[in-house]
Chain A
Amino acid sequence: MWIGFGVSTGLLIVFSVVVLSLLRSIEHDIAEQSDVARPRSLAAKQLEVGLLGYALAVRTFYQTGDPRFKQTAAEEAAQVRQHLAEYERLASSTEQRELAARFASQWREYEEFAQSLLKADRLSIRDSERLARLRIALERFVDEEMQGEADRSYDARRERTVGHLRGILGGLVVLLGGGLLLAFATSIVVSRGIVRGERALSREHGQLEAIIQAMADGVMVFDMSGNAIVVNDAQARLIGYENADQMKRNREYFADRFELADLDGNPVPVDQWPVSRVLRGESLREWQLAVRRKDVPRHWVISFSAEPVRNGEGDQILALVVSRDVTRRKENEEQLRDSEERHRLASNIAGVAHWDWDLASGTIHWSGEFRQLYGMDPAAGPSYESWRAAIVPDDFPKLDRAIQQAIAECGTYRVEFRIRHPERGVRSLLGAGRAIPGETGAAARLIAVSMDITELKQAEEEVRRLAESLERRVDQRTAELAEANFEMQAFSYTVSHDLRAPLRGIQGFAHALVEDFSASLGDEGREYCQRISAAGERMEDLIEDLLDYSRLAQQEIVMKPIELQVALDEALQQLQEQIGRTQAQISVTQPLGTVLAPPAVLIHVLQNLLANAVTFVAKGQCPRVRVWSQKMDGHLRLNVEDEGIGIEQRNLQRIFNVFERLHGDEAYPGTGIGLAIVKRAMERLGGTCGVESTPGKGSRFWIELRKV
């Protein structure tokens, strides 16, 4: 994780560009030096400057992601290699050559590591520290070289001042990691001082002060007696002082006014305070302590880092303490812990396993449920590798893609995947997670949950399989029906065409016989011919009705509104001959209303009902038929009532069957299909039909259709 300066990225870029150009000019200055009495020391100096430039460019690239700094890093690295070659060339003794070779090998290690980091897209604390260590080692090496080549005429006091400043800066470099560049800048300023001489030094000492002042973290530098000699404004603001000068006091002053405690609430005595420990030569890294001010009721959680500052001989001369306010962060962490506890409980209840992956350090924490869910060995600690190994290989890419995307976008993911559980076999899991942003806004943690959905998937699969087989069966039945329908059509076509052909012959020739040979046939012969014709006619009617009946099953039904009166008139028209012959009286009670039905089918139905009513009357009686309609619930019932012979109760249901006849053909001619046609038609139209009857008094047939 980054330790930022609070410097915005834009400013950082401007700053880096300025410093890098400054570095270039320094290198130029060094190269222009007319005093070349110490060429190796100059070459070493150039090396150091190049090194700083390189480190600064690498650093800035990480902080800003600006590809220009990647390019700058490459240029600086080329510079360093050039100076290194020069330095090696100038080595005159075996000892110097060895020195140069050692430097070269350290440089290569540093550069290689920095280059490998340039390829990654993030920098962990570990990497960052290693980078800093390598660079410091290189700097120290240059120092040694400088000392070895030291010009004895150098003013000792100046040397000491420079040493102090560089010591403080070195401490800042170590403590502030990601903020190295500011220290570099000052370091460069100091370097310039060394090269240019004392006159420039005091001016640039002021610049150093200014830089420390500009820092967002609190900085205090103590002398060895515990007096604060340097304090920046950020430090003053941090613990409620108006300005930095008010804080240039000794340790005892602070001991009176502040109380320190660890995060568990245990008091930390003054001799264990960061300043005390660093004065004893200890280094501290991000030691978080609760700080309470006694004179005003305020408290903070402060992260202390501290570093002793040593002179060239390695003796400690100063103590550097850097403070950062992490109060809000701690509060957030508290809240997170609370919610994590609730989450853990909820997870436990729901059987949801969760894991938490710190992306920077790569450490993973997973819950007990997680271990159970995956069947992980409790002895083995959590690791990405063991998690990955549990996932069915085919499913890993999609899961990995989703996770990587969530990390890249700092978003969420939700994926179904399978794992191989050592005892339970392949299990289906639902994984969901969220990437949590760190201080830079980039994903720092991934919190994820997994849940066993094997049973759910199995049920889903079962449903899918059933639906599929059902669909297959429906398809099969549909095909069968289509085939049956087709056969039916072929059948009725055959009937209509082939059955009629011989009938035409019978009818035609019987007719011809009567017409052409009437005289020779005699009365009896003519009667026989008459009977042949009549039988043929009946068969013709039968065929016609049968065809009507079978067509009803196939006909496409198109519903449209039709006035019952219109349909009735049409049906009566078609029955005109029969009505005239029987002198039937048909009375209609208007209005009849409008229904939804295919007109042709409705007319056919009415025709059959009317024909039925007109036919079945006692011998010698004129048929009297009454037609009226009544509104039912959403339907319209049309009644056709006759005063005919009626139907016995036990026969009421039979009369709607095909070929069902209750009377001999002589008494009441008919095919026995008419009412079957009515019933089938009503079924197809989604309507109903029925009959009520009193033998000897008459019948009332009705149909019900949807009314408009």
Chain B
Amino acid sequence: MDSDHCILLVEDSADDVKLLKRAMRKAAVSCPVHIVADGDKAIEYLDGAGAYADRHAFPLPTLVLLDLKLPRRSGFEVLEYLRAHAMLKKTIVVVLTGSSESRDIANAYTRGANSYLVKPIKPGQMDHLVNCVKEYWLDTNRPPPVFSPA
């Protein structure tokens, strides 16, 4: 069940956010989904800083859906930040981006991405993709224990 989960969606495109939320609704994703629109905000959220200080309202995500091309800090920088911090480094990060450049794919894995998905264009494929994410990352995969020692 995905009810123990919390998703952080890092995405600057309002269109994509809307389409993703629609696809999640259709796929019956029931866990909370928090959305931040740039790299700085993503880090702020993960640190529990500023507007995200309340960990009850903004719990640590069990899954981060991360776009690469973001305003301010890029997805790569967010990934690096995550992997460099003891509390955050085990967080599951699925890159979800429009780029299918092999350079970007390689970079993402080098920096510790758990998965790399390309946003589909063909109608209906977005639903399929979100369904896959839910089935695998939320329902099948066993995430690391949240407060395990580093």
Are A and B interaction partners? Answer: yes
Chain A residues in contact with chain B, CB under 8 A? 493, 496-498, 500-505, 507-512, 533, 536-537, 540
Q: How far is the CA of A533 from the CA of B124 in the complex (A)?
A: 11
For A509, the chain B residues whose CB sits under 8 A away are 15, 19
Interface string of B117-136 (1 = CB under 8 A from A): 00111111010000000000
Given contacts A502-B15, A504-B15, A508-B126, whether A496 and B119 have CB atoms under 8 Å apart is: no
Whether B30 is near chain A, meaning CB under 8 Å from some CB there, is: no
Cβ contact of A496, chosen from B15, B22, B98, cutoff 8 A: B98
B19 to A512, Cβ gap below 8 A? yes
Interface string of B18-30 (1 = CB under 8 A from A): 0100100000000
A505 to B16, Cβ gap below 8 A? yes
A492 to chain B, nearest CB (A): 8
Q: How far is the CA of A540 from the CA of B125 in the complex (A)?
A: 14
Q: Which 4 A-B pairs have the closest CB atoms?
A: A511-B123, A505-B15, A508-B19, A500-B98
For A511, the chain B residues whose CB sits under 8 A away are 123-124
Given contacts A537-B122, A540-B121, whether A508 and B15 have CB atoms under 8 Å apart is: yes
Q: How far is the CA of A170 from the CA of B101 in the complex (A)?
A: 106
Q: How far is the CA of A502 from the CA of B16 in the complex (A)?
A: 9
For B121, the chain A residues whose CB sits under 8 A away are 500, 503-504, 507, 536-537, 540
Whether B140 is near chain A, meaning CB under 8 Å from some CB there, is: no
Given contacts A509-B15, A512-B19, whether A504 and B119 have CB atoms under 8 Å apart is: yes
For A501, the chain B residues whose CB sits under 8 A away are 13, 15-16, 98
For B99, the chain A residues whose CB sits under 8 A away are 493, 496-497
Interfacial residues of chain B within 83-131, with CB under 8 A of chain A in the complex = 97-101, 119-124, 126
Q: Which residue from chain A places its CB closest to the CB of B124 in the assembled complex? A: A511
Q: How far is the CA of A7 from the CA of B121 in the complex (A)?
A: 108
B9 to chain A, nearest CB (A): 15
Interface size on B, residues (CB 8 A): 18
B69 to A507, Cβ gap below 8 A? no
Q: How far is the CA of A500 from the CA of B99 in the complex (A)?
A: 9
A496 to B101, Cβ gap below 8 A? yes
Q: How far is the CA of A675 from the CA of B99 in the complex (A)?
A: 25
Q: Which residue from chain B places its CB closest to the CB of A494 in the assembled complex? A: B69
A-B contact count (CB 8 A): 52
For A536, the chain B residues whose CB sits under 8 A away are 121
Best-buried of A509, A510, A511 by chain B (most CB within 10 Å): A511
Q: List 16 A-B contacts (CB under 8 A).
A: A493-B101, A496-B98, A496-B101, A498-B69, A498-B98, A500-B119, A500-B121, A504-B19, A505-B13, A505-B15, A505-B16, A505-B19, A507-B121, A512-B22, A533-B123, A540-B122
Q: How far is the CA of A508 from the CA of B121 in the complex (A)?
A: 7
For B119, the chain A residues whose CB sits under 8 A away are 500, 504
Q: How far is the CA of A500 from the CA of B15 in the complex (A)?
A: 12
Interface string of B56-100 (1 = CB under 8 A from A): 000000000000010000000000000000000000000001111
Q: How far is the CA of A573 from the CA of B121 in the complex (A)?
A: 22
Q: How far is the CA of A679 from the CA of B87 in the complex (A)?
A: 53
With A497-B98, A508-B126, A510-B123 already in contact, 15 other A-B pairs whose C-beta atoms are closer than 8 Å: A493-B99, A496-B99, A497-B99, A498-B69, A498-B98, A500-B121, A501-B16, A501-B98, A505-B13, A508-B15, A509-B15, A509-B19, A512-B19, A533-B123, A537-B121
For B101, the chain A residues whose CB sits under 8 A away are 493, 496
Q: How far is the CA of A505 from the CA of B13 in the complex (A)?
A: 9
B17 to chain A, nearest CB (A): 11
Q: How far is the CA of A507 from the CA of B101 in the complex (A)?
A: 21
Q: How far is the CA of A507 from the CA of B15 in the complex (A)?
A: 11
For A508, the chain B residues whose CB sits under 8 A away are 15, 19, 123, 126
Q: How far is the CA of A493 from the CA of B69 in the complex (A)?
A: 11
Q: How far is the CA of A501 from the CA of B19 in the complex (A)?
A: 12
A370 to chain B, nearest CB (A): 70
For B124, the chain A residues whose CB sits under 8 A away are 511
Q: How far is the CA of A500 from the CA of B123 in the complex (A)?
A: 13
B98 to chain A, nearest CB (A): 5
Q: Which residue from chain A places its CB closest to the CB of B118 in the assembled complex? A: A500
Cβ contact of B122, chosen from A497, A498, A507, cutoff 8 A: A507
A77 to chain B, nearest CB (A): 87
For B97, the chain A residues whose CB sits under 8 A away are 497
Q: How far is the CA of A540 from the CA of B100 in the complex (A)?
A: 13
For A498, the chain B residues whose CB sits under 8 A away are 69, 98
Q: Which residue from chain A places its CB closest to the CB of B26 in the assembled complex? A: A515
Interface string of B24-50 (1 = CB under 8 A from A): 000000000000000000000000000
For B100, the chain A residues whose CB sits under 8 A away are 496
Q: How far is the CA of A504 from the CA of B96 in the complex (A)?
A: 13
For A505, the chain B residues whose CB sits under 8 A away are 13, 15-16, 19
For A540, the chain B residues whose CB sits under 8 A away are 121-122
Q: How far is the CA of A58 from the CA of B47 in the complex (A)?
A: 97
B26 to chain A, nearest CB (A): 9
Q: Which residue from chain A places its CB closest to the CB of B22 in the assembled complex? A: A512
Q: How far is the CA of A509 from the CA of B121 in the complex (A)?
A: 11
Best-buried of A498, A508, A540 by chain B (most CB within 10 Å): A508
For A507, the chain B residues whose CB sits under 8 A away are 121-123
